[in-house]
Structure 1
Amino acid sequence: MRLAELSTRSGVSVATIKYYLREGLLPQGRQINATTSEYDEEHLRRLRLVRAMIQIGRVPVATVREVLGHVDDDSLGRTIRLGAALWALPQVPEPDEDDEYVRAAHREVGALLDRLGWQHARQLTSISPAYRSLVVALAAFRRLGFDWGAEQLAPYAELMHRTAVLDLDSMEAYPSDAEQVEFAILGAILNEPALQALHRLAQEEESARRYGFE
């Protein structure tokens, strides 16, 4: 397809597509002559991914470029490729390691991972943004006086593991490694807010069942 058709099918303006091409977010098309290039379904799929990351995920262009670099890096194994792409997305600030609540949170999260038998996650604690996010959240709970630790988190973690199984089952339905990683990126941007919304709806439903609307 030509650039105009790519624009029509994607809903992205020609000017924006040209910008994405200049920034390296979209692969160059096949050159037909000095002024015309041809694009295919992979360009359309990548364009939709870029648009979702920027418009819905509010991911900066430089970060999108970094994430897509990991997606396209065939030298990486699937787990590292997926992890590197997800880790490049915006994350919480680094926890203050001198904070006593942060140190206590590290101990509790470590105890949680040991309790669950998540040894691979245990090995990634020094580099995993998800681990840091959990530490920051748990430290905030404890700073406010709530005794929230491994015992309380374990049932939630088990539910999340079941969710992860569903995520990867869905991801593996796509034929190529690049498509699978792209699906995982979209999942991080779109599915996590949907799961958060479902969690809140479930809380509203259970609250109404228990306490009514008084």
Structure 2
Amino acid sequence: MRMAELSRESGVAIATIKYYQREGLLPPGELTSPNQADYGPAHVRRLKLVRALTEVAGLSVAAVRDVLAAIDEPRTSLHDVLGSAQPGLPSASAQDVTEADREWAARRIDEVVAARGWRPPPRSVLVETLAGVLCAYRAVGHEWALDSLSTYAESADRVAAADIEALAQLRSAENIVEGAVVGTVLGDSLLAALRRMAHAEASRKRFDRT
């Protein structure tokens, strides 16, 4: 297919396709003449993946290039590829966090990590984000809400296992990465909606006397 058809199939504008090629995100097509190239289904799949990484996950061009390099390197484990493709989380840190607060949050997190058998990497951004959330709870006087932290972690374990099992059914590394990115971003909204629905039902059962 020519570039115009590639644009229609992928939903990516021609100017954007050319930009992706310049940035090394899309391999060149097969030259059929000095000014013409032919593209195939692999180019369509790659463009859809790049769109998912940039538009859904919000990754920079440099970060997308790293993810694609990991996908194209056969010696890279799928676990490492998925890690590089994870969308960033918004920071949630309390104002004026003291060293005592940080140590308290670290202890709470260590307890959860040990209980679940998790092995987060050193200086994990996710651990730092979680610490910020815990400190924010404490700063606003709602530390009581963290009494259910172990229950939340157990639920997160079950959700993550379901996510990975579903991803494992996909056939290619590109499809798995795209599924992980879309599933994480949309899955966060999905879980938030389900949680609110469950809140409404739990509240009805507990507090509604009618």
TM over 0.5: yes
For residues 27 and 191 of structure 2, the distance between their equivalents in structure 1, rounded to whole angstroms, comes to 32
From 172, 177, 181, the equivalent of 1:181 is 177
Among 90, 99, 104, which residue is 2:88 paired with?
90
Q: Which amino acid aligns with 2:5?
A: E
Which position in structure 2 is the counterpart of 1:158?
154
Q: Percent identity?
A: 36
CA contact (8 A) 1:94 1:132 kept: no
Contact preservation (8 Å) 2:97, 2:135: no
Change (3 A) 1:99 1:41: farther
- When residues 200 and 31 of structure 1 are mapped into structure 2, their CA distance, relative to the original with a 3 A threshold, is farther
Q: Give 1:208 shift.
A: 4.6
How do 1:61-72 and structure 2 match up within 5 A?
Answer: 61-72=61-72
Distance 1:174 1:62 in 2: 26
Change (3 A) 1:94 1:144: closer
The residue number in structure 2 matching 1:206 is 202
The letter for the 1-side match of 2:138 is R
What SS does the corresponding residue of 1:32 show, helix, strand or coil? strand
- In the alignment, structure 2 segments of 5+ residues that lack a partner are none
- Does 1:3 pair with 2:11? no
Residue by residue over 1:53-78, the C-alpha shift from the partner in whole angstroms, topping out at 9 and shown as x without a partner, is: 33334433333333333333333222
Count how many residue pairs are aligned between Structure 1 and Structure 2: 208
Structure 1 segment 115-154 matched on structure 2, within 5 A = 115-118=115-118, 120-121=119-120, 124=121, 126-148=122-144, 151-154=147-150
SS at match of 1:9: helix
Preserved CA contact (<8 Å) 2:10 2:47: yes
Superposed counterparts of 1:13-52, under 5 Å: 13-52=13-52
What letter is aligned with 1:56? V
Structure 1 match to 2:56: 56
Unmatched tracts of structure 1, length 5 or more = none
Q: Is the 8 A contact 2:50 2:64 kept in 1?
A: yes
1:208 and 1:44 map into 2 onto residues whose CA distance is 49
Q: Is the 8 A contact 1:106 1:135 kept in 2?
A: yes
Cα displacement string for residues 26-57 of structure 1 (whole angstroms, at most 9, x for unaligned residues): 22222222222222222212212222333334
Larger relative contact order (CA 8 Å, sep ≥ 6): 2
Give the conservation status (yes or no) of the 8 Å contact 2:52–2:182: yes
Mapped to 1, the partners of 2:69 and 2:84 lie a distance apart of 10
Counterpart-to-counterpart distance in 2, 1:63 and 1:141: 32
Against the structure 1 CA distance between its residues 208 and 127, is the aligned structure 2 distance closer, same or farther, given a 3 Å change threshold?
A: same
Q: Is the 8 A contact 1:31 1:38 kept in 2?
A: yes
Give TM-score scaled by structure 2 length.
0.83
Could you tell me how far apart the structure 2 residues matched to 1:53 and 1:205 are? 36
TM-score in terms of structure 1 length: 0.81
Q: Which letter does structure 1 place at the counterpart of 2:51?
A: R
Are the aligned partners of 2:10 and 2:48 in contact in 1 as well (CA < 8 Å)? yes
Residues 27 and 43 of structure 1 are in contact (CA less than 8 Å); yes or no, is this contact kept in structure 2?
yes
